[in-house]
Amino acid sequence: MGNYIYDFSEGNKDLKDLLGGKGANLAEMTNLGLPVPPGFTITTQACRSYLKTGELPPELRVEVTMALRRLEDAVGRRLGDFHEPLLVSVRSGAKFSMPGMMETVLNIGLNDASVQGLAEFSSDERFAWDSYRRLIQMFGKTVLGIDGDLFADALDKAKAARGVSSDVGLTATDLEGLVGEFKTIVREGSGREFPQHPREQLDLAIAAIFESWNTDRARLYRRRERIPEDLGTAVNIMTMVFGNLGETSGTGVCFTRDPSTGVVGVYGDYLVNAQGEDVVSGIRNTLSLQDFEALDPTAYGELRQAMRRLETHYRDLCDIEFTVERGKLWMLQTRVGKRTAAAAFRIAIQLVDEHLITMDEALGRVSGAQLDKLMFPQFDARSERVLLTTAMAASPGAAVGMAVFDSPTAVAWAAEGKDVVLVRRETNPDDLGGMIASVGVLTSRGGKTSHAAVVARGMGTTCIVGAEALDVDAAARQFTVGGRTVREGELIAIDGGSGEVFLGDVAVVPSPVVRYLEDGLDAAVAAAGDDEDVADLVRSVHRLLAHADTARRLHVHANADTAADARRARSLGAQGIGLCRTEHMFLGERRVLIERVILATDDAERQAALDALLPLQRADFVDILTEMDTLPTTIRLIDPPLHEFLPDYTELAVKVALAGVAGESDPHDVALLAAVGRMREANPMLGLRGVRLGLVIPGLFALQVRAVAEAVAQRLKDGGDPHAEIMVPLVASVMELHLVRDQAEAILAEVSEREGVTLTIPIGAMIELPRAALTAGRIAEAAEFFSFGTNDMTQTTWGFSRDDVEGAFFSEYAANGVLSDSPFDTIDVRGVGELVRIAVERGRATRPELTIGVCGEHGGDPDSIAFFHAAGLDYVSCSPYRVPVARLEAGRANVAEAGAQTR
């Protein structure tokens, strides 16, 4: 055909850019020989042209004329005919589905003449006038932009006049009268008559769908979801079929297998004598597909055949909409179906076992985010529960606690040891204290980028948002939902994986997937007992993780600071430690020593404190290296500003001032206040930290390097196989690294000679400042490895502080679409990612064998791992419990890349 129109018989499922998702799948079904009502798709290209010029392109008008003629010929009916009229539906269909866009106008082609034809053809005058009434109402509202309430009010008046409560009670005559009234509404609301010419109806509807690409809501949605502005939408024109032409007609939806377990079977709903919108509105009870079989075995048989055909063809769970018109089955839509996280794993493995897909493909069907969800505790499926509502799952987990309605109460009750769930209309920065104190957060407003959602995800707190059914009355300390009132202190349970809100206590069970990861497959299967769903799930997870391990190129390390963390990380599959922070080792009873280092007035005093720390620090490293025997263990030298080890300046100032007026001054406090004041920085994040500390207080890094060297020496002498590496934080210039390396190598040489062992301890740089990335070519001269600290790099690249994220502008930015994900959760590919690419390229240009990893929290983020794979990193490092997620995503990334290359 031309440029702007594809007949359903011409497209296929891979043309989503041009035909949108709906159009591409309709074409695919048509080509499979499935009974799709004839029709055609106007391409996104036409939309783009319209948006540029504000007019339907002239060629499009010609092509539509020709396509309509072909359609009329094929169907044997004509638009606007007053005997047997052709009616069409007009539906938008972008590449990505998008709330806020105009969706559908049905019954295009009806007018004062063809309504008679429809009545005759359907032998149902009431049906014909009702269809016409619906067209004018839908067209008036969505195409002509008339206030929908005007139509609804007129309808209500007609029902009142007839004394009925439902429009089913209106007669053909009533509806004919209503059509007249609706036409008046159109005339008065738009200044024009309702268009009688079917082609005019069609052109206006097409233009309206194109226009709806640019509604504020659609634009905001695209901004948030990072959908390009210039894609445009396709428009699908399809012959109308009617499920509401009596008892031999109906409409339904079905899945080719159970979307919550993956079991193959017949899952779906059917509604006799109804149209699609009736199923969705839920006003009548639906039948099961089994009942449909009994009702119409022929149509049911055809449907089953179509389902098998689609699943074999798409090689995945399909979600189908269909209509039966007087016994004849019509397929209206299909797409790959949504499923739960557990079902995703089980279905992927089932499809492998059914020889429909390979293990590589199966990896593409699951995600790290799904695995992550499976690792949270869940409500016990066998526990009784009272569902209050279902809303947006914003941060996973299962939380049970007393409902509280403000932050101070949450804090106070939590301090008494109570578990509380903070319920708010929406949260703001003032609620932060309450959010921290709560086991769960529930809001009645906001989406997944609202303040509550962003902050709760950041804190790992279970959260549900946008529960609009809830009427939250904070002043009355209660909420109502579905006529039920829940008061402060009553128990509620929220499922951050499913978005379900329950009343009362619900038993929580640990995740069977975590049990598998920690204790192995056999133990997890045994623990599942007779719950075959659970056993099948852990087996599926196991097979997919094992395949990911063989498929991936990226290594997965863990961030672990203690021997216990190291052991856990190793059991979860970590192939090394990518970040062992050493500052935690100066806390607790050692704090007094580091305080002495800081407050020392001369070198000898400082050195004495450092000397006291040496055996403690060495013992820490021996423990970790013992756990990580044979595997790389990257130890980062101390990073945070030293005043973090001292008391808060303001609190201390108030204390000293009050003691002063009371005549009870404590000289130690006064001295401490002076020291803290001297060390105070306007912006500690940009202050005396990391390598700067090491160069200003040389004894500090020297202590740590010596402790590493002596620990490695001891492990070697004990017959171990330690692989310690020393990482220098916050490097901005290669000069810093040269200076540290000179010092460190002298110490390593000295310990090596004294202990009589060969110490091979690589020294590398943490790349966490923009300058380090930009000058990576020079830094690689002095670094044997790079490790990206993407948390800090996000702060400096964007110029905002993680400490302040919960503050004023972050949720505002999520709401207005500046940020979709928090760049602290998922790597900002355009900004921070660009620096990563630059650093990898320049670093490897200097030193091709440079080992490069990432140890920021992005290392464990499913959405970021594919980026790190593509950027050419050698490993990602993340917290121990993210290791399985990272293993899975690393496998997926490599398989996806290989797939892209062979395609």
**Catalytically annotated residue among 463, 580, 855, 878:** 855
- DSSP states of 267-317: EEEEEET--HHHHHHT-SPPEEHHHHHHH-HHHHHHHHHHHHHHHHHHTS-
Q: Please tell me whether 842 is known to bind a ligand.
A: no
Q: Among positive and negative, which fits the CA dihedral 602, 605, 610, 613?
A: negative
Q: Is 451 a catalytic residue?
A: yes
In the bound complex, what is the minimum distance in angstroms from residue 695's beta carbon to its own copies?
6
Q: Please tell me whether 636 is known to bind a ligand.
A: yes
Smallest Cα–Cα separation from 341: which of 502, 508, 510, 540? 540
Q: Please tell me whether 792 is known to bind a ligand.
A: yes
In the bound complex, what is the minimum distance in angstroms from residue 817's beta carbon to its own copies?
6
Q: Residue for token digits 């978005």?
A: 499
Greatest C-alpha distance within the chain:
106
How far apart, in whole angstroms, are the C-alpha atoms of residue 320 and residue 292?
Answer: 15
Q: Among positive and negative, which fits the CA dihedral 398, 404, 408, 412?
A: negative
Please, which residue, 564 or 654, has the CB nearer to its own copies? 654
Smallest Cα–Cα separation from 783: which of 727, 840, 706, 723? 727
CB 565 within 8 A of CB 880: yes
Rg value, the chain, Cα? 33
Start-to-end CA distance of the chain, whole Å, equals 27
In the bound complex, what is the minimum distance in angstroms from residue 630's beta carbon to its own copies?
35
Q: Please tell me whether 790 is known to bind a ligand.
A: yes
What letters, b where the CB count within 10 A reaches 16 and e where it falls short, cover 841-874? Answer: ebbbeebeebbbbbbbbbbbbbbbbbbbbebebb
Please, which residue, 254 or 819, has the CB nearer to its own copies? 819
Q: What are the helix (H) ranges across 469-562?
A: 512-519, 521-528, 532-551
Please, which residue, 121 or 868, has the CB nearer to its own copies? 868
Please, which residue, 187 or 226, has the CB nearer to its own copies? 226
Alpha-carbon distance values, 888 to 162, 184, 552, 748 (Å): 63, 61, 8, 38
**Catalytically annotated residue among 451, 542, 643, 869:** 451
What letters, b where the CB count within 10 A reaches 16 and e where it falls short, cover 754-783? Answer: ebebebebebbbbbbbbebbebbbbbbebb
Q: Please tell me whether 81 is known to bind a ligand.
A: no
- Binding residues (CB under 8 A) for its own copies: these are 223, 429-430, 649-650, 653-654, 657-658, 661-662, 678, 681-688, 692, 695-696, 730, 732-733, 735-736, 739, 768-771, 774-775, 778, 792, 795-801, 803-804, 807-809, 812-813, 816-819, 828, 830-832, 834-835
Please, which residue, 353 or 430, has the CB nearer to its own copies? 430
Q: Please tell me whether 291 is known to bind a ligand.
A: no
Q: Is 855 a catalytic residue?
A: yes
In the bound complex, what is the minimum distance in angstroms from residue 651's beta carbon to its own copies?
8
- DSSP states of 602-641: SHHHHHHHHHHHHHHHHHHHHHHHHHTTTSEEEEEPP-S-
In the bound complex, what is the minimum distance in angstroms from residue 617's beta carbon to its own copies?
23
Please, which residue, 21 or 856, has the CB nearer to its own copies? 856
Name the phi and psi angles at 92, rounded to 5. Answer: -75, 160
In the bound complex, what is the minimum distance in angstroms from residue 770's beta carbon to its own copies?
4
Beta strands in 461-595 (DSSP E): 462-465, 471-473, 478-481, 484-487, 491-495, 500-503, 508-509, 555-559, 577-581
One-letter amino acid at 256 equals T
In the bound complex, what is the minimum distance in angstroms from residue 795's beta carbon to its own copies?
6
In the bound complex, what is the minimum distance in angstroms from residue 448's beta carbon to its own copies?
18
Please, which residue, 364 or 687, has the CB nearer to its own copies? 687
Please, which residue, 219 or 477, has the CB nearer to its own copies? 219
Known binding-site residue numbers for substrate: 581, 636, 768, 789-792
Binding residues for Mg(2+): 768, 792
Where is the binding site, in residues?
A: 581, 636, 768, 789-792
Which residues are tagged catalytic? 451, 855
